[in-house]
Structure 1
Amino acid sequence: MKKENVLQLISGLIAALFFYAAMSKLIDYDKSIGEMRNQIFPVAIAKVLTWMIPSIEITLVFLLLFRNTRKKALWASLFLLTAFTLYIAIVMTGVFGRIPCSCGGILKNMSYGTHLIFNLFFITLASLGLAVDNGWISYNRFVNLKNRKDLA
């Protein structure tokens, strides 16, 4: 598999996640705003976030699909996924005294621990995509091991 194909696969998986997440929020907007109002944020911020988060997710979907915007989109995806994951981790500590979040779609059936692992998987994908794209890791070292002469 070529480097570009690996980057397209990683970007496509992250884009699919964000597309699904955004659409599930926008299709059932009333439920989404109710869930957002259940968060720790003031109602005014919850209203803004109800539109802002899916808008960012949809924007990232498009940016991830094009080579010239992919690197910035991977960075933004990494940041957004990390923010979501930190929020889940904080919720899991019980610091808010209640569970303020219920996620929609396929995630609604996941425990917070499973959701945390799910997010960490996508954080790893985004990080791997950035590492390959930036040359921080050798693509050939991890993908073409059978072709390496130093293994003998």
Structure 2
Amino acid sequence: MFKRQVLLECISALLILLFVYASLSKFLDFRTFYKEMDNQPLPNSWTPVLVWVIPCTEVAISVSLIFERTRLLGFYSSLIVMGLFTIYTGIVLAHFFPYVPCSCGGVIKRLTWTQHLFLNLFFVGISIVGVVIQTRKRFTQISVNSKNKNSFV
């Protein structure tokens, strides 16, 4: 049980670091991020919304992973967001778009698209592990609480 808790904390910390780093890099170089979002193969009319939704979602995921009560939501959210980023990276690698866009900041910008795919897959994987362990932990806590309630009756 202790090992699972340590693993959950490590997974949470890694995801928090990823999402805080990603959101900060977007906010700190907002003009560049905005221009790069305009360069995406999406309608440019989406840019004013996406430049706020994406980093704010990353911050919200980070915050949800801090607290035990919201951690499962954070793991699911991380899985969804990283899954979407991974699919997008795969589409880029499949040369689906006529050009190669990027709105990655900082160190991640230096990765090749293949390296980016593997990084994303790693974070998808640890998000899945987080969901599984956190769900089992919650189920175990509910079972224990249910048994304790019945023993007092």
Per the alignment, residue 104 of structure 1 pairs with 105
Q: Distance in 2 between matches of 1:30 and 1:133?
A: 38
Say whether residues 1:84 and 2:79 are aligned partners. no
Are the counterparts in 1 of residues 33 and 103 from structure 2 also a CA contact under 8 Å? no
1:23 corresponding residue in structure 2:
24
The two structures have a TM-score, normalised by structure 1, of 0.85
Name the one with the larger helix percent.
Answer: 2
Alignment of 1:1-152 (within 5 A): 1-135=2-136
- 3-state SS, counterpart of residue 40 of structure 2: coil
Secondary structure at the aligned position of 2:97 is classed as: coil
Counterpart position of 2:149: none
Are 2:82 and 2:120, in contact at CA under 8 Å, matched by a contact in 1?
yes
Q: Distance in 1 between matches of 2:125 and 2:110?
A: 22
Distance in 2 (CA, whole Å) between partners of 1:3 and 1:102 is 35
- SS for the counterpart of 1:89 is helix
Secondary structure of residue in 2 paired with 1:103: coil
* Counterpart for residue 147 of structure 2: none
Inter-partner Cα distance in structure 1 for 2:57 and 2:103? 20
Unaligned runs of 5+ in 1: 137-152
Segments of 4+ in structure 1 off by > 4 A? none
Distance in structure 1 (CA, Å) of the matches to 2:53 and 2:103? 18
Tell me what 1:141 maps to. Answer: none
Indicate if the aligned counterparts of 2:64 and 2:74 stay in contact, CA closer than 8 A.
yes
Q: Report how many residues are paired.
A: 136
Task: State TM-score, norm by structure 2.
Answer: 0.85
Deviation sequence 1:69-100 (CA, Å, 0-9, x none): 00011001000000001001001111111102
The letter for the 2-side match of 1:5 is V
Which runs of 5 or more structure 2 residues have no equivalent in the other structure?
138-153
Which amino acid counterpart does residue 87 of structure 2 have in structure 1?
L
Give 1:2 deviation, angstroms.
3.0
Report Cα offsets for 1:30-79 as digits up to 9, x if no partner.
00001000001111201211111000000111000000000011001000
